[in-house]
Amino acid sequence: MPPKKAKTTSSPSANLVQKFKDLKLHTNDEEEDYDEQPFILSATVQTEHKSSNYGCAFNPYADDPNEDQLVATVGGEYLHVFHCPPETNHLVPLKAWHFPTDNQPKEGGKQLTEQLFSVSWAADSYEDRNGRSELRLVAGGQLGKLYVVDYGTMAHCNTLHCTGGEINEIRVSPANSDLIAVASSDMALRIFHIRNSACLVVIGGPKCHQGNILTVDWHYKGDYIISAGIDHRAIRWDLAAPPVKKHIDRICEALKSGEQNQFEPVQPTNDKELEAAYAKSQQHPGGAKASSTRSTFQTQWPNDIHFNAVDCVRVLSGVDRIMSKSVDSTLTLWRFGPPMHQQVNPVPQRIDAPETCTTVLQTRDLGDADPPFFIKFDIDPRRRWIACPGREGSVSFYDMRNPKPEIRAPQLLSSCTNPNAQG
């Protein structure tokens, strides 16, 4: 079935286009914030499935962000890509993919249908080296499958398996555009290479989460991932531990040849093997001391960060700081380790022993008495602004430089709205 393009409900008028340009919202001056500039509703698009869109992601690999603003959304059985041209109030539908759920297995006599929850951009390094279209879109949801789509050719180029539950979030590694981390409702995390249908690493079991994992994010160097979910826990998983890093590097190197799906699902690794490999790595001359790095595969934080389910976690770019949001309407900035000028016990511990030391830096009340569930916030690359959605279509912005930030509400939503747009 050929992909269908989304249908726009209106076209921009010349008057509104001029209004948009007059606001001068686009600038190359990175130091200016434009605190008093209004937010405006610039365009509305109705997608053909006419149901909720759960996931949204901007293309982080744009050569010129001012010209190539592409945004992908997912909902129902559809993935759509739109262009957001600068200096005009328009949202241009570019491409769409349909993932039909015919011939899917039935559960309790009821036909299972796809409902996409998350989407992420990735880049195939092999295709990039060979001068071909490298942009990829990875989407997943209710059926536990990951669909990899070639943005340039509009071809569905791979399906990633091994997920035993709904896919709640997909995040691409900032250090390796071929790798993605996936949070699932089957209480496990998985690391995938977009060219291999089986996952590279499965993180689960009694030492993992005890409920639905709602969110995951990467450290900016790719050294670890942070996960959180229904069980209130926020857990760090060290991907730089020698056995894990060696395994991932070996598979990534093999997949550089261009062949897909070379590897079968990874076998579980025994804790004693991890322990032995970790102990051996500490014996190398000049190696990092165990008391300073504690290079473990799993590092678990206790439940003193949040006292309710955590539906979004983000690692700040350039620093080891974590921002997480609970469904009880709290936003917390924290980090790994003790407060400054305090020391922890320097005695090395077991590789699978949980780390219980955290420092809460800021806690903010989002001010929503009945906060929505499954809400994802984000932070700008300069670590200045936090954008967090709320009920009834509101988006609140928080200034991280202000310990007690005021909420900047959207302005001029009605006066600058296209009068012909429909909801």
Please give the DSSP secondary-structure letter assigned to residue 255.
G
Compute the average pLDDT of residues 36-43: 68
Among 81-95, 148-162, 217-231, which stretch is predicted with the lowest mean pLDDT?
Answer: 81-95
Compute the average pLDDT of residues 7-30: 52
Is the model's pLDDT at 410 over the cut of 50? no
The percentage of the chain sitting over the pLDDT mark of 90, rounded to a whole number, equals 32
Q: How many residues does the chain have?
A: 423
Among 13-22, 76-85, 102-111, 307-316, which stretch is predicted with the lowest mean pLDDT?
Answer: 13-22
Please give the Cα distance from 403 to 55 (Å, whole number).
30
Residue 10, token pair as written in the block: 């209106």
Sign of CA dihedral 239, 173, 139, 73: positive
CATH: 2.130.10.10, 3.40.50.300, 1.10.150.130, 1.10.10.60. Which one for 7-22+36-342+350-399? 2.130.10.10
Phi-psi domain of 356 (left: phi exceeds 0; alpha: psi -120 through 50; beta: other)? alpha
Is the model's pLDDT at 300 over the cut of 70? no
Angle (CA) 7 8 9, round 5°: 115
Token pair 């349909």: residue: 98
Please give the Cα distance from 131 to 299 (Å, whole number).
40
Q: What is the pLDDT of residue 270?
A: 53
Please give the Cα distance from 118 to 131 (Å, whole number).
28
Q: What is the pLDDT of residue 261?
A: 86
Is the model's pLDDT at 222 over the cut of 60? yes
Compute the average pLDDT of residues 182-194: 93
Please check whether residue 114 is in contact with residue 105, taking contact to mean a CB–CB distance below 8 angstroms: no
Whether the full predicted model's pTM is greater than 0.85, yes or no, is: no
How do the domains of the chain map onto residue ranges? 7-22+36-342+350-399
Structure-model confidence comparison of residues 104 and 307, the more confident one: 307
Compute the average pLDDT of residues 163-173: 91
